[in-house]
Amino acid sequence: MKLLKERILREGTLASEGVLRVDSFINFQVDVELTDLMGREFARIFEGSGATKVLTVEASGIPAAYATAVHMGNLPLIFAKKARPSTASGDDYCAELRSFTKGNVSTIRVPRKYLSFSDRVLIIDDFLATGSASLALLELLNLAGASCVGLGAVIEKEFQGGRTKLEERGIKVSSLARIKSMREGRIEFAEED
């Protein structure tokens, strides 16, 4: 997605090795017009997938997942929470998530009533790096007996190997901006999906 790549080059900053900050349009401040275009593009890519729900992890994946759900015909959007809300019933599907950027492990959860064996789920996330978040979401789907129809990442850091882990499990992966390398302050994009 050309517009997204231009924004990454213009406004993205390399915080440290392997960490790209896109705070001004994805993570802290959301560019709603760009997010809407991303949702349209994911809907186009996954058209015909038979998705019945969209799933992401809180918090930065929510805007792109929401836009995608809207453009796929107003599908229900589920987001896995990283902390157990005080109002939770405790009847949740849970999986461990190791954060690449934060370096911590948390338990993500989705109430059982929102995922079932009949669901065909599209996973949408802001970043695909090592694949930890995606694998944790797949674990939630496995626990529910639901199927994954694909995974869309706004930005993929190809050099961190997440795509390979997912494709080895038979998951269709599509990224809007696929980064081949980030070094010496330069970002190099991979070929289009």
CATH number at residue 68: 3.40.50.2020
Tell me how many domains the chain contains. 1
Chain segment 14-63, per-residue pLDDT in tens: 987 778 999 999 989 999 999 999 999 999 999 999 999 999 999 899 99
Omega within 30 of 0 (cis) for the link into 146: no
Chain segment 84-130, per-residue pLDDT in tens: 766 666 789 999 988 766 677 889 999 999 999 999 999 999 999 99
Where b means 16+ CB within 10 Å and e means fewer, 73-99 reads eebebbbbbeeeeeeeeeebbebebee
C-alpha–C-alpha distance, residues 101 and 49, integer Å: 31
Which token pair is 145?
Answer: 């007996």
Domain that holds residue 96: 2-189
